[in-house]
Structures are given as structure tokens and as C-alpha cells.
Structure 1
Amino acid sequence: MNTTRTLIAAAIATVGTAAHAVDLKAGEWDIAIGGIVNAYYTHTSCSGSQAVGGAALATKGLGCGGTDGRTVIGNGLLPNALTTTAKTRQEGLDISATLMIGAAVASGDAISNNNNNVDVRQGFVTFGNADMGTVKLGRDYGLFGSSAILGDMTLLGAGAPVAATQRNRVTLGHIGSGYTYLGTYGQIAYSLPTSGGFSATVALMSPVDAGTAIGRNEPQLQALATARFGGGKAWLGVKRQKFEGTGGAASFTMNAAEVGASFSAGALGFAANVQSGKGLGVLTDGDSGNRKQTNVLLQATWQATAKTKFGLNWGESRLKDGAATDLRSNTNVTAGLYYGLTRSVTLVAELSRTTSKPVTGEQARMNGFALGGIVFF
């Protein structure tokens, strides 16, 4: 079902290449093994005011990893990943099990860190058929924000090459500057049978914590509906969770909605997504407390040749209220070149500018570039 597509599959679809997974037959099970490996040389330089609190991406603390400039050779927005999927059909039901294990390229030293830093984002089973729909049980990506990040051209590259996250993990693309991360959750999800290009999924997610506020008694609720039409698609998503304050912290409820669309016209492609709500979080659920927030992502791409794509996108995450030095907004603009060297290898070059503004005062700025490539197999 479309709503359980992995980031890997979406990235493959973005460039129109095909994964060449190893396909095996084990009794009544069909097993496919595939994945991605990527690495980018990135450099960031940070300037301007550092008096911006919260998840201010353009500050020296985050954007440049504690300095005024930082070079990293590491992952882009995607980790290195190995994905195994087993499928079968039993008693009229299509059954599938998926396990994804990831790892990062860059580390803070040459001895430890990523030698034992394993990133397990997916481990779930699905069962159903065309008549009853599909049930999913296990750990997988969230629904809310999935359409935004899957359609982001920087999924193949780096986007905002925030050094503090790229070392030992990944860059941020437009996470925190255009959309909130879709997250990975323990979940129980149900997808309606797809009909006439329309699909819908509703899911109960294991509640998450946000600093001193915890998710305790009620699951997080997410839902996503998608309508496909000639040349594009449109989507609508929602999510909700109660956070209970501890140690004197205030309780609050995260309520958020998003709407977006993407379409192509010949060699041109366009996409837009808007997220809005309270408690949404800059990087992840509830990380900015009960503040109101709006995220916007706009993108245009041009398939210049069969192998070459150019793209430009802009994103902003903007918060309301807050104290003087609290984060008001993160904004990122990225220009990218994506070249399909072969069916499996894509080379990437990106330039980006990220700004972080406080409620009052001067902004912080981060200039960055990324050069490298990604391989699908």
C-alpha cells in the first residue's frame, strides 16, 4: 500500500531508477533484499547573532557543530540502509514483513561511535487484501509529514547540511525549516482499499515524550488521505496527542493538520505543502511546547535531460509568541543538481542558505553546500 512506502522506495521513484534487490524464494515466501548507500562532502559557515534559542538551525551550535564553520563527509538526508521484505499469500490474505537497518557515515572520532550506532527505523508486518484493506503492526514511519518529505528533492541530497545532526546521523533536508520530521513510531494502522486513485490510512501511534512533557495514557492519532489524478496527487493529513507535564511543566495537546499537492507538466514539476497547529514541534513532536506553528514548503524542478534534473525549493517553519530570544523561524532555500550517472547511481550538488530568527533581535545565518552521491541496489 502506498502509505507504507519506505523513504528508500520514494527516493528511487523520485529519480525514476529501479532498485536491483536480491530476490529469493524460501518455501512459500518471496524475499527481497535491497538498500541504499550515500555520502556527501558538506561544508557550513555560520554568522550573525547567536542569541536564538530552541532548534535554531543556522546557529553555530547546530548548523556548524559548535564552531563558525564545519566540514563533514557523511550521510545526506537518508541514512545508509539495508531493507529486507518477505511476502506471501495465505488463505486469501497478502502478508508482508519488513525490517530496515540503517547506519551513519560520519562520526566524531575514528574509533567508536558509529561502529555500534545502529538505526532501526522499520520493523513491521502487514496483512490484508484488495477487499478488506490492509492492517499494519509494528514500527514504521509516521503518516503526517510523509508526503512532504517523500516529495522533497533534497531527499536524494542534503538540504540543510546541519553539522550537529550529520555527525553520527543525517542532514535535515527541510526538517525544521519547511516541515516537522515524520518520525518513526510503534503503531497499529489500517488502510482502506484503494479506489479510483483515492487512498486513506488511520493509525494509532505509541505516544512519545517531549522534554518534560510525556505521552502517557492515550495513543497518538494520525490519519492521511491521498487522491491521485493525471499528472499529480493531493493529500490531507492530521495528528493529535496529549502531553502531560511533569515536574511543574505545563500539559498541552498537539493538534496539527497539513494539506499539499504535487503535479508535473512536461519536464516541470511543482509541489507545495503546509502544516499548521499547536504543539507541532520544530524538529519533532512537541519540542517547542504549546506554541502555534506553521510550516510551508514550496518546490519547482526541471528535468532538463533524461539524466539531469535541476531543482529549487524554499521552506519555513514559523512559531508564534515566545520570549525575546526564543526561536521565531527557520528558513531554508536550496538549489540542487541531480545527475543520474547510471540506473543506480545519482550524483548530487546542492547550495543552501538557512536563516534562524528570534522573536526579537538579529538573525543567524548558515551557508552550506553538499557534493556527493547516492546508490540504490
Structure 2
Amino acid sequence: MASRKKALLATVMAASVAGVPYMLPTLAYADDYADLLDVLRAKGSLTRHEYDTLLAKHVHHAALAAEPRAARPAHAASGGTRTAMAHAARGAQSGYEPGIRFDPGAGENDISLRAEDAATRAEASARSAQEAAKALDSGNFVRVAKYVPGKGLTFKAGPIDINLSGFVNGFYTYNSPAGGRPVAGGVSSGSSGFDSSAVRNGLLPAGFILKMNTVQQGMDISAVLGMYPGLDNAKPAAFNANSGGSPVGLGTAGIDLRQVYMTFGNKDMGTFKIGRDLALFASDAIMNDATLLSVGSTGSNASPANTSLGRIGVGYVYADWIPQISYTSPKLGGFQGSVGIFQPLDEFGYADATNPTAASAASQYSAGSTQHSSPMVQGRAVYDFSVSDVQFHIWASFLIQHMQGLSSLQADGKTPLLSSDQHHSAMVEAGDIGTKVTYGPLEGVAYYYRGSGLGTTGLFFDGVDASGRKRDSEGYYVQGAYHITKKFRLVGSYGVSNLYLAGGENTALESQAGSAGLVRRNQSEVGAAYYQMTDWLTVVGEYSHTSSSAHGGSKESDNTASGGVMLMF
């Protein structure tokens, strides 16, 4: 190999100074660049012609750089010229340009030595690569997985994947009341009597979700922590960080730590979940609601809470984030089922809490409960399939909870309203069904729910009257979306939530002079435009009209215009 390189180097140096009365010494040694060419040639990465060409250029440049410093005997000029001419002739005969093709100048033995040396170098390189791979897998290095928009950042630390994802949003919202009388339990702010401006969150607060995954003994194991802060000042009350806000100086935003859970299982056995997460009943309703990325009904715009209402209470009952032990089956041909036991929730008099006369009429509308001897049970089934170019997502879910220890108070706020012979417990039952259909740029969603004792807006809000009797409720929403372009989407939706009176409740309500009456119906219409500027940023513009009506005839309505940006990573 050494003699081969010497011959090549001497030949090219002589040719490079042909016609000059001096030449470089004929003895020259290969450098690291020439060694690299040897390895690439032995591996087959370079053809013989490519190898010769690159080596010639390198040696020629080295010769030019050395010319001013070299002493060249005059008698060597003619020999160099003849060598260069001989190489040029051979190059012309072989089809290569003159001065590029080289005489092999080495025997088979030298070529074998070259190949053996290259193989030794390649083997050492492979060992080094294997050792580096082992070091990466040992957990001594942290790697970053390929980024996928909307899926967050994933860091791989040995056997553990650490994912950080989240979203931030902000909207300017202008609410204009259309008038009316207050409705106890209504979601419209139409009776407030004044316009309001706010810089606030939409239906989503901000969110930062940390998820850790690993595989142990054939099981996929994960732990999740979700932190959801709002923009506006918090004023904790019955709903904690989600209570109405407090736009007063020196206030601080609320942090809703609604999500903390673990899962374990695999694709064959299914997955178990233990902790606090979104419940099963009505979860698909909110996840497919377009106002999840905008504002919808504001609730209160003058003093914004952590979130707006979106379509909560105007098309579905909020699924909520509830402590649970649940199980999700493996997917079988597009079908998947889930079932679990959940922390039981209290029956709650939301209408009483929002009634302007509540201070003098405690438990005027609904009974409450604080006793639970059995858990809430929820289940859900989904089925995904396609027909030609049309994709279908169909779901159904149910909820059951036994309400115990029901109680209510008379107008003095002290005397029990429920007597010993009246209902002190109630079995709450609810179910829903919905579908999402996608065909090219078109999307459609249709959803319906019905419950007995379920209530409206929130789980078990005003689901049982003051005498312990269950009220029926139902609601629905329909939604259509069209992608004008890949980034620009228009959405329109309409939704209703109805709360019916319990048997024998009419007379009692009508006799309550001065009361605006219990909410009978909440409804809204929403139109929105979404433009995805980048993988992270979506600009949103929206208009919504919300109205509430009571059993006693009172009505109120409002109009809201919102504009803002949603960032998701």
C-alpha cells in the first residue's frame, strides 16, 4: 500500500510541475486524507475512477502549496514531463480526461495489503459505533425523539420516555346583554344590564401536561400530571379555581390541578387507570365540541373564571374530572369499551346558588346530599369504522349513582323541608349517544343525552327537587365544519339543554311570588372561524348567542364576540 501511494504521489507531483525546471522529491507519504480515501475505496463507497480523481486533486494541491519552498533540480524537468505525458496518453485511451487517470503502479500484494488495512479500520469503527449505542441505551444519555406537531416534546432517558405537552390561549371577549329577567340556573348573562369586555381564557385554560412512560415485564406503565392555570384572578368558592373571577388589583390566577393518574396494561390485556382524569360519561361530547378551542357561552364575562362555558349547559352536561378506577379494553375491530367506579358527587342546588333571592330562600329549588355509601359507576363504548371515503366515530356512555341523605331547608335557612316520610334517596341514571362523520373537508357531529336526576350544566346540578323527587333532563347539539383550505375552517353549531319539573312540582313553583323561577331551557348558536397560522398557532374569531328561559316565563339572552389565539405544542 505504501509503495502504491508513493508512486501515485510522485507521478502527480511530477506532472503538476511539468515544464518547470524544478520538481518535488519523488518520495512522498500519504496523509490522513489519503487514508480516508483508502477506507472508502475498500468499502465500495468510491469507484476506482472516483478514488483516483480525488487523490490526484489532493496531491496536486499539495504540490502547488509546496512549490515555492522546494528546490527542483533542472535535470528532473524532462523526466517529469515525460511521466505526465505518458499518464495523459493512457488517460485519453481509457476515456478519462488527460492527467487524471493513473497507472496502477502496484501489484496484487500491495492491493491486498490496502484492503486488509481498510478492513481493520472498518472493524474498529464498527466496534466504536456499537459501544456508543450501548452507552446510549444504558441511561447515561438523554435523547430527544423526533418532534411531531401537537404531540409535545419527548425525551428518552434510558427505558423512560418523558413527554411534555400543553397549550396556551387568550381571547378578547365583548359581551352585550339583550335584556330580560334573571333565570335561576341559567347560563345567559342577558339580565346583567351592561356590556362587558374581558381578556380571558376560552373553554380551555392553559395546560401543561407531564407524562412518563416505560415498559416493565411486558406492561406499558405511565404516570400523568396535568396543571391547568387560568389568566384571570381566581376567587375560590364552591367550584374552587373554576368559580367566578375577581378582577381586583393584587389578585392571582387560579391553578386547576385537575389531572393526576397512572395507567398500566398492554394491547392484549387492556389498560387500567387509577387517579383523577376526565370521566367517561359525556366525555366525547366535549372532546368533539368545536368551542373547546374557542369561547362559546361566557358564563360571566365581567369577572371571568378560569374558563368560559363553551357548550357546557347548552348541549351537554360537563363530564368533569373525577377520581376513578377504570378499565379500557383492547381494540377489537374498531370497537373499544371502558367501565369504572368513580368518586360519588353531591347533589347540588345550582339554581339556589345563582338565585338573587337565595339569601332569604335557602334550598328553594333543589335538594342537596353529602352522604354516599356506594361509588358512581360509568361506562363508555366507541366504534370507529369507514365506508368508502367516509369515516365514522360512534359513541355511547352511561352513568349511575345512588344519592343518599338528601336534605333541603325552608325559607328561614334552618328548618328542614324534607319530612321523615319524604324521599331521602334517589337513584340517578343517565345515558348519551353521539356520532362524528368525516368526509373529505366536511365534518358533522350529532349528540343527544337524557337523564333522571342528572340535572343540567354540571353533574347533579338541580337534578332533585326540594322534596327529594328526581327531575328529568335532556339535551343535544349539532355541529358542522368545512375546511375551505387545509388551514382555514368554518364551524357552526346549535345546542339545547332542558330541565323538566318533577311530578307535583308546578304548583309549588307558581306559588313562590317574586321568584324568577327555575331554569327550563338553555340554548345557544355559535359561528366560528379557525385559521392555523403555524403548527403551533391557531387564530380564532367567533360569535355566539346564548339564551335562558325559566319555567315561570322569565327569559334572558346575550351576544358575545370573541377573537384570540390558541397555541398548542
Q: Same fold (TM over 0.5)?
A: yes
Pairwise mapping of residues 110-259 of structure 1 onto structure 2 (< 5 A)?
110-114=249-253, 117-163=254-300, 167-211=304-348, 212-230=368-386, 231-244=391-404, 245-246=406-407, 248=416, 250-259=424-433
Measure the CA separation in 2 of the matches of 1:181 and 1:240.
15
Give the alignment partner of residue 264 of structure 1, picking from 416, 434, 438. 438
Does residue 59 in structure 1 map to residue 193 in structure 2?
no
Rate the CA distance shift 1:345–1:352 in 2: closer, same or farther, 3 A. Answer: same
Q: How many residues are matched?
A: 354
**More displaced stretch, 20-29 vs 252-261:** 20-29
Q: Return the index of the structure with the highest Cα Rg.
A: 2
- Check whether the contact 2:197–2:301 (CA below 8 A) recurs between aligned residues: no
Give the C-alpha shift of residue 60 in structure 1.
4.6
Structure 1 SS opposite 2:274: strand
Cα deviation for residue 70 of structure 1 reads 1.6
How far off its partner does 1:165 sit?
Answer: 9.4
Q: Find the aligned partners of 2:255 and 2:216 in 1 and give their Cα distance.
A: 33
Aligned match of 1:5 = none
Q: 1:295 pairs with 475, 482, 504, which one?
A: 475
- 1:24 aligned partner, one-letter code: F
Please name the residue that 1:72 is paired with: 198
CA contact (8 A) 1:161 1:370 kept: no
Aligned partners of 2:176 and 2:299: how far apart in 1? Answer: 10
Q: Could you say which residue in structure 2 is the equivalent of 1:38? A: 169
CA contact (8 A) 2:455 2:472 kept: no
Structure 1 letter corresponding to 2:401? Q
Which residue is equivalent to 2:528? Answer: 336
Greater mean alpha carbon deviation, residues 24-33 or residues 73-82:
24-33
Offset at residue 285 of structure 1 (A):
1.3
Structure 2 residues not aligned, in runs of 5+: 1-147, 234-246, 349-367, 409-415, 419-423, 464-469, 511-516
Aligned to 1:12: none
**Residue of structure 2 aligned with 1:317, choices 497, 513, 524:** 497
Q: Secondary structure at the match of 2:397?
A: strand
Partner in structure 2 of residue 109 of structure 1 = 248
Query: For residues 344 and 256 of structure 1, do their structure 2 counterparts lie closer, same or farther at Cα, with a shift above 3 Å needed?
Result: same
Offset at residue 308 of structure 1 (A): 0.4
* Alignment root-mean-square deviation, CA: 1.7
Return the structure number with greater helix share: 2
**Aligned partners of 2:483 and 2:490 also within 8 Å:** yes
Paired residues of 2:170 and 2:564 also in contact (CA < 8 A)? yes
Give the 3 Å change call, closer, same or farther, for CA 78–215 of structure 1 in structure 2.
farther
Deviation at 1:356, TM superposition (A): 0.3
Do the aligned residues in 2 keep the contact of 1:243 with 1:254 (CA within 8 Å)?
yes
Q: Which amino acid aligns with 2:431?
A: A
Structure 1 residues 25 and 265: alpha-carbon distance in aligned structure 2, compared to 1, 3 A threshold: closer
Instruction: Say which SS state the counterpart of residue 345 (structure 2) adopts.
Output: coil
Query: Deviations for 1:66-101, whole angstroms, at most 9, x for unmatched residues?
Result: 553221111101110100000000001000111000
Describe the superposition over 1:93-137 as per-residue Cα deviations: whole angstroms up to 9, x where unpaired: 0001110001001222231231xx210111000000111111000
Moved more, 102-111 or 34-43: 102-111
Cα displacement (A) at 1:241: 0.9
The answer as to whether partners of 1:39 and 1:75 remain within 8 angstroms in 2 is: yes
Q: Aligned pair 1:350/2:530, yes or no?
A: no
Distance 1:295 1:195 in 2: 31
Equivalent position of 2:158 in the other structure: 27
The amino acid that maps onto 2:152 is A
SS at match of 2:231: coil
SS at match of 2:232: coil
Q: Distance in 2 between matches of 1:340 and 1:218?
A: 46
CA distance change for structure 1 residues 214 and 300 in 2, over 3 Å: closer, same or farther? same
Q: What TM-score, normalized to structure 2? A: 0.60
Q: Deviations over 1:127-173 (max 9, x none)?
A: 00111111000000111111111111111101112225971310111
Secondary structure of the equivalent of 1:214?
Answer: coil
Distance 2:537 2:521 in 1: 35
Cα distance in 2 for residues equivalent to 1:266 and 1:21? 27
Q: 1:233 to 1:43 in 2, by over 3 A?
A: same
- Post-superposition shift, 1:26? 2.8
Q: What is the identity, as a one-letter code, of the residue corresponding to 2:178?
A: S
1:362 CA drift (Å):
3.8
Which residue of 1 is the match for residue 358 of structure 2? none
Kept in 2: contact 1:139–1:185 (CA 8 A): yes
Deviation at 1:29, TM superposition (A): 1.1
The alpha carbon displacement at 1:18 in A equals: 2.4
| Cα separation, 2, equivalents of 1:140 and 1:206 | 11
Give the CA deviation at 1:268. 1.1
Question: Distance between the aligned counterparts of 2:430 and 2:304, measured in 1?
Answer: 30
State the TM-score, normalizing by the size of structure 1. 0.90
Q: Percent identity?
A: 31
Secondary structure of 1:79's counterpart equals coil
Shift of 1:215: 4.8
Amino acid at match of 2:153: V
Q: Find the counterpart in structure 1 of residue 213 from structure 2.
A: 87
Matching residue's letter, 2:290 = M
Q: Secondary structure at the match of 2:444?
A: strand
